[in-house]
Structure 1
């Protein structure tokens, strides 16, 4: 074995030993190990526990599950904005801000769906970019409210914003593991 081949072999061994969770199915232990490497360990574990298919999923499958939960959150928030908040006011400024926010959450859904396509293609860097974009859309919504002094940011919307951002952070942590 020449020195270059030996060097590549050593790099491979070091890589695999430093990232053992990437190559196992999603049993409870590997799920805990993967979730420890995200910013929101408890959210990651509870979200994956709520989906029975996570116990059979590999790391990529766990990312898909988390992104699916984030898609449901973004879609539900867009619907919430369109149906409840938009219909509860006649103020044209509030209607415009709420509609813009509903659009932002729709864009977040689209970005998350695109990340699933990128994961399927094993384009982990592009999946990461799409989830990062989805994470930022709720912030753009929040900033829309800030443009109008005196316009209160709804507590329920703040809660939903935080949930989506945290779920995206979990997805980003898992995707980051895949790119190694």
Structure 2
């Protein structure tokens, strides 16, 4: 006796296999992007938070503490680079008052960098309140630079310095918002 199989069950099996392979159900944990989104969702500067954290490959393996460190490191980079930038502007200036102001600005951004480094140390020690204070101070140092220029109406605050100041202030706000999450835990 010869058994003849209908091609229909084979066809159905192949279609089912194809469907399952293209629509597989994942039971793996949610991707780290969800932690980034959750962390940034309560942040004052959501877009800056998302772009900064999503753009750093280390964020994919980070917890909230790690995300705060990534933002603080970006702020350290900004303040260090701005300090160097102000110093180079000072070196290129022929106006004595401008040189003095730009050197003061460079020192303020250097102070901001130091405060941010102290905040990193505090985060490592789970001293989130201390980290909050240091980041707050770092965000205020650049304001002194702008105020110094306002006191000298004949001198123009360099537009690039203003842009860098805004970025640093916003990075500090993002860091503060993330540190606030750590304080709540």
For Structure 1 versus Structure 2, the TM-score category normalised by the shorter chain is 0.7 to 0.9
- What is the TM-score when the length of structure 2 is the normalising length? 0.82
- What is the TM-score when the length of structure 1 is the normalising length? 0.84
Asked if 1:27 corresponds to 2:32, the answer is yes
Match of residue 69 from structure 1: 74
Q: Determine if contact 1:25/1:56 at 8 Å carries over to the other structure.
A: no
Q: Determine if contact 1:25/1:59 at 8 Å carries over to the other structure.
A: no
Q: In structure 2, do the counterparts of structure 1 residues 37 and 26 end up closer, same or farther at CA, with 3 Å as the change threshold?
A: farther
3-state SS of paired residue (1:179): helix
CA separation in 2, counterparts of 1:173 and 1:101?
26
Structure 2 residue runs of 5 or longer lacking an equivalent are: 1-28
Q: What value does the CA root-mean-square deviation take over the aligned residues?
A: 1.4
Q: In structure 2, do the counterparts of structure 1 residues 26 and 114 end up closer, same or farther at CA, with 3 Å as the change threshold?
A: farther
CA separation in 2, counterparts of 1:28 and 1:164?
24
- What are the Cα deviations for residues 106-127 of structure 1, in whole angstroms up to 9, with x where unaligned? 0000000000000000000000
Match of residue 137 from structure 2: 133
Q: In structure 2, do the counterparts of structure 1 residues 149 and 50 end up closer, same or farther at CA, with 3 Å as the change threshold?
A: same
Match of residue 99 from structure 1: 103
Match of residue 180 from structure 2: 176
Number of matched pairs: 156
CA separation in 2, counterparts of 1:26 and 1:79?
38
Match of residue 151 from structure 2: 147
CA separation in 1, counterparts of 2:71 and 2:30?
16
- What are the Cα deviations for residues 23-52 of structure 1, in whole angstroms up to 9, with x where unaligned? x99810110111011110000010011110
Q: Which has the higher contact order (CA 8 A, sep 6+)?
A: 1
CA separation in 1, counterparts of 2:30 and 2:145?
37
- TM-superposed CA distance for 1:89, in Å, is 1.1
Give the 5 Å matches for 1:100-119. 100-119=104-123
Structure 1 residue runs of 5 or longer lacking an equivalent are: 1-23
CA separation in 2, counterparts of 1:41 and 1:26?
19
Match of residue 42 from structure 1: 47
- TM-superposed CA distance for 1:149, in Å, is 1.2
Specify the structure having the higher radius of gyration (Cα).
2
CA separation in 2, counterparts of 1:107 and 1:62?
23
Moved over 2 A (4+): none
